[in-house]
């Protein structure tokens, strides 16, 4: 029986590039069920798990699933986006890798559901999408009562904070008209993703 999973002793070693991207500094491999070997190589860029900001309370960008998230970045960016692999297969490997890393059942299926929805936005991402649609819909319905109310509250809080930050910034900027600036004044940013 062939061995699947991540290479022995692999670890996540990265360096921050900017607010959203990191670069892998120590590569590792993942062997899939058919014996395909995928290399998360040194120098590859990643954003870890691409989780919208309003959901990071439930699904942080990194955790037990970090290696699977790096693998998924590789699969989406360099295999599915170039047509060497279907999006659905990349997402299936992501779910499998999370299982092998010990990510609890419901969390990994919710994360898989999220990437299946995101695949709809990719060129060719609709190919074979209906095949998994019943499971995507099932886990969407299961998660919605727990996920949507807090996400709505967080969305409103983020918008209110951005508005408050903008008002303070405008007040400070108005004061600059009267006297020369002593320090840089950074404008507020409304961010939908974590960074």
Question: pLDDT per residue over 32-47, tens digit each?
Answer: 888 899 999 999 999 9
Query: Which range (12-16, 51-55, 178-182, 184-188) has the least confidence?
Result: 178-182
Encode pLDDT of 129-150 as tens digits: 999 999 999 999 999 999 999 9
2: tokens are 């062939």
- Residue 133 tokens read as 């649609």
Asked if 101 and 67 touch (Cβ cutoff 8 Å), the reply is: yes
Token pair in block for residue 120:
């709809």
Average pLDDT over residues 3-28: 93
pTM: 0.86
Q: Between the CA of residue 8 and those of 13, 40, 99, what are the distances in Å?
A: 15, 14, 17
Mean pLDDT over 72-99 rounds to: 96
Q: Quick check: 3 pLDDT over 90? A: no
- Using DSSP, state whether 187 is helix, strand or coil: coil
Q: Which two tokens stand for residue 56?
A: 């990071």
φ, ψ dihedrals at 180, nearest 5°:
-65, 150
Q: What is the structure's pLDDT at 33?
A: 81
Across the chain, mean pLDDT equals: 91
CA dist 116 to 23, 93, 127, 128, Å?
A: 25, 12, 11, 11
Contact 125, 106 (CB under 8 A): no
The number of beta carbons lying within 10 Å of the beta carbon of residue 155 is 14
Reported as a pLDDT band with limits 50, 70 and 90, residue 180 is low
Please compute the mean of the pLDDT values over residues 102-107 and round it to a whole number: 96
Widest Cα–Cα separation across the chain: 76
How confident is the model at residue 67, as a pLDDT? 97
Q: Tell me the percentage of the chain whose pLDDT exceeds 70.
A: 92
What is the three-class DSSP state of 70? helix
CA distance linking residue 56 with residue 73, whole number of Å: 18
pLDDT, tens digit, 9 for 90 and up, residues 156-177: 999 999 999 998 888 887 766 5
């Amino acid at each position: 029986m062939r061995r699947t999973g991540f290479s022995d002793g692999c670890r996540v070693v990265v360096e921050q590039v900017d607010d959203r991207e990191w670069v892998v500094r120590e590569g590792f491999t993942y062997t899939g069920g058919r014996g395909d070997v995928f290399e998360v190589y040194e120098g590859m860029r990643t954003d870890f798990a691409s989780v919208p900001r309003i959901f990071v309370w439930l699904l942080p960008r990194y955790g037990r699933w970090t290696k699977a998230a790096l693998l998924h970045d590789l699969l989406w960016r360099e295999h599915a986006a170039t047509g060497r692999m279907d999006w659905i297969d990349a997402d299936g490997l992501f779910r499998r890798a999370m299982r092998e890393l010990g990510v609890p059942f419901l969390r990994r299926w919710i994360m898989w559901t999220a990437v299946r929805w995101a695949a709809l936005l990719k060129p060719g991402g609709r190919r074979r999408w209906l095949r998994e649609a019943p499971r995507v819909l099932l886990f969407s319905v299961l998660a919605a009562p727990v996920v949507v109310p807090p996400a709505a509250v967080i969305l409103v809080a983020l918008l209110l904070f951005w508005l408050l930050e903008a008002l303070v910034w405008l007040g400070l900027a108005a004061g600059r008209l009267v006297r020369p600036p002593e320090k840089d004044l950074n404008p507020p940013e409304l961010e939908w993703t974590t960074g």
